[in-house]
Amino acid sequence: MFYLDKKVLVTGGTGFVGSHIVQELLKYGAKVRVPIHMRPMIVQDERIETVYADLNSLDDCVKAADGIDFVFHAAGTVGAAGVSKINTMASITKNLVLNAYMLQAAWQTGVKRFLIFSSSTGYPDANYAVKEEEMWNGPTHPVYFGYGWMRRYLERLAEYVVSNSSMKIAIVRPSAVYGRYDNFNLSSCHVIPALIVRAVKKENPYVVWGSGNEVRDFLHINDFARGCLLMLERYSEGDAVNIGYGQVVTIKDIVKMVLKATGHDSAQVIFDSTKPTTIPFRMIDISKAERILNFKPVIKLEDGIRDTAEWYSSTISNPRSSN
């Protein structure tokens, strides 16, 4: 009942993460507002209030936040941090501006609670599941120097607001998130959508960058959205919490799941270790989320990949088949 009739702003509500948070909030009777700028709404529901706002403008941020109880700030850019150097600085700058303006606007308009996204890219290099308190034990991995430190700074900015205002802030550090509505543009998408696109195209040989032994923690977007709602409700204390799958998998195993889900498991798979990848191992410890939020993922990785691949095949790759 926490969200019932609460006025909730979801910035980035036209994007991947934000659209799923919107759907989750509607389940609980929230009155959802989404700022519209460059992209149309993915979720079509008459209960959603839309307002035109360019969040690069502080005035528009104030307009979007006016009269709002809670904010989920999902607007920003992620990109293929560390792999592609294209527009890296633009990504850092945009995230800094959007987060600073929205925090300022929320503070100014009397928003009660605000959720901000940090990132597991801010953690130092480690070959085990990292805990929240280890964020500041050393520098980021060199490949995440720009993006990871930007996320670290946003956490400090959130802590500053908490210490100087009455607004409560939840800080989420997600692992790699995937699922429906993800970015499937091969020039900028992450590993799972990229593998799905190329498998649906039936590429053969099927060339994968890296050795395939890289280890990752992948969380389905539905589990992530649920975790975010729990976080804002139960732990808006300006203290970061990892939200992830809590288990790791190699890229080789992900490739097998994707090829099986797309009916392309007869392809010749070639791992090209001469091509750039990010860090060899990344896993986050989710025991704090389990303890404080009672959060546990419920969607198995293989099931989530199959659902994502089926959605992509029917909706984007072959849109007529979804009619």
Q: Which domains does the chain have, with CATH numbers?
A: 7-322 (3.40.50.720)
Handedness of CA 107, 111, 112, 116 (dihedral sign): negative
Check residue 278 and give its pLDDT. 79
Residue 221: per-residue pLDDT: 98
Q: How far is residue 107 from each of residues 12, 53, 63, 228, measured CA to CA in Å? A: 19, 18, 13, 20
- Give the residue ranges of the chain where pLDDT is below 70: 78-87, 317-323
Per-residue pLDDT tens over the stretch 138-159: 999 998 999 999 999 999 999 9
Residue with token string 């987060």: 99
* Residue labelled with tokens 């600085």: 89
pTM value? 0.94
> DSSP secondary structure string, 86-123?
TTHHHHHHHHHHHHHHHHHHHHHHT-SEEEEE--GGGS
Strand partners, 130: 284
Question: Could you tell me how many helices (H) and strands (E) the chain has, helices first?
Answer: 9, 15
The one-letter amino acid code at 133 reads E
Is the C-alpha dihedral spanning 177, 183, 188, 190 positive or negative?
A: positive
Q: For residue 277, what pLDDT is reported?
A: 77
Identify whether 205 is preceded by a cis peptide bond (ω within 30 of 0).
yes
